[in-house]
Amino acid sequence: MTESAKSNLLGMTRQQLEGFFADMGEKPFRAVQVMKWIHQHGVADFAAMTDLSKTLRERLALMAEVRAPDVVYDQGASDGTHKWLLRLDDGNCIETVFIPEKDRGTLCISSQVGCALDCTFCSTARQGFNRNLTRAEIIGQLWLANRRLTPAPAADGRTPPRVVSNVVLMGMGEPLLNFDAVVDAMRLMLDDNAYGLSKRRVTLSTSGIVPAMDRLKKTLDVALAVSLHAPNDALRDQLVPINRKYPVAELLAACRRYVREERHHQRITFEYVMLEGVNDSPAHARELIRLLRDVPCKVNLIPFNPFPETRYSRSSDAAIARFQDMLAQAGYTTITRRTRGDDIDAACGQLVGKVADRSRRELRFARLEGSTGSPA
């Protein structure tokens, strides 16, 4: 069997691994054993999986592999943020960012090579779109981060706690346009035999693909963030062009459905980038207050992070503080996100990577709903 024909076990969920071992004539419990080696211990060499028989280890070495994207560079920022540039098999590159905090470590993961949505304030959108990431390429970002960030075992053999405690799918791409691969990767993040993250610590961020939001509600319970950025259709059409297909009223209705009934304990996080003279006035704040009045939510205000040739500027600190105060006075939990990693272009909206643009932008919206599948 050639190297390229080997099955990459890194991206397989427990059910998929059980099917893989069943095809080998092995018992289903082998799936859990191998999952723990791969995802909990970061082991890629089957020979090191000592609770498997020697015969099985040798068979796995012939038939399978554990392969993540290659790290081109690991760049650290002055505030402790890390950004990795990862090279994929086809030569495209993506970026992944780790943001350390006192009480958590958040990994920002990419889901596509580039992005087709063309949000005007985002540098990723300027690269165009090449393809969806595979399951292994998505979960491989978490696998690599854990391997690189988690300290070595202590002298007494105890495994240190993992540094990555939260995952946000807020990197390159629109996650809901790569639905199947993204959901499978999140299943691994939540699986106690893999990463065991709480469903409140895995957040998917979307620009508002309404049918896929409804599908996600029925498929997997994770936190949802929505890139809103404007309180009305006229302005959002300019900033987030997908709004022309799924306007604000439809988007907000989908948000209400997402938190309704069995998810009444959950709130939507609305992301709102602060652009000077564009969406940051008191009138915009009042309009946003009215818009969100019946949606359980919190609001993250994001100071705009500039990139070359952008036509936008960051709102002043005074304008952001005034906007936040107006929302807080109206009863909304509102946080101004602290800019992290901007000295290495790792801040929100700055991820670039290296993308061979294959998109035909004039056709992308017509094809969006048909592009939510993904390769394995």
| Model pLDDT for residues 67-80, shown as the tens digit of each residue | 999 999 888 777 88
Q: How far is CA 41 from the centre of its chain?
A: 22
User: What pTM does this model have?
Assistant: 0.88
SS3 157: coil
Average pLDDT over residues 335-350: 59
Query: What domains sit in the chain, N to C, each tagged with a CATH number?
Result: 7-65 (1.10.150.530), 70-370 (3.20.20.70)
**The pLDDT of residue 94 is above 70:** yes
Alpha-carbon dihedral sign for residues 13, 16, 18, 24: negative
**The pLDDT of residue 88 is above 50:** yes
CA distance 238 to 369: 21
Average pLDDT over residues 18-47: 96
pLDDT-derived band at 155 (thresholds 50, 70, 90) equals low
SS3 331: coil
**Are 123 and 350 within 8 A, CB to CB?**
yes
- Least confident range of 172-186, 294-308, 341-355: 341-355
- Least confident range of 1-5, 129-133, 331-335: 1-5
Which residues are designated catalytic?
95, 348
Q: What is the pLDDT of residue 373?
A: 52
pLDDT-derived band at 364 (thresholds 50, 70, 90) equals very low
- Least confident range of 82-86, 155-159, 268-272: 155-159
**The pLDDT of residue 61 is above 60:** yes
CA distance 280 to 121: 14
Higher pLDDT, 128 or 202: 202
CA distance 82 to 107: 9
**The pLDDT of residue 367 is above 90:** no
pLDDT (tens digit, 9 = 90+) per residue, 100-109?
988 889 999 9
pLDDT-derived band at 159 (thresholds 50, 70, 90) equals low
**The pLDDT of residue 371 is above 60:** no
Percent of the residues in the chain that have a pLDDT greater than 70, as a whole number: 85
- Least confident range of 15-19, 90-94, 114-118, 355-359: 355-359
Which tokens sit at 244?
Answer: 């022309």
Percent of the residues in the chain that have a pLDDT greater than 90, as a whole number: 72
Say what the alpha-carbon torsion angle 125, 126, 129, 132 is, to the nearest 10 degrees.
-40
**Which among 266, 291, 286 is positioned nearest to 327, based on CA atoms?**
286
Which tokens sit at 79?
Answer: 């505030």
Average pLDDT over residues 238-250: 97
Average pLDDT over residues 300-309: 89
Contacts of 11 (CB under 8 A, 6+ apart): 134, 135, 136, 137, 138, 139, 140, 181, 184, 185, 188, 376
pLDDT-derived band at 374 (thresholds 50, 70, 90) equals very low
CA distance 24 to 11: 18
pLDDT (tens digit, 9 = 90+) per residue, 270-298?
999 999 999 999 999 999 999 999 999 99
pLDDT-derived band at 362 (thresholds 50, 70, 90) equals very low
Average pLDDT over residues 194-218: 97
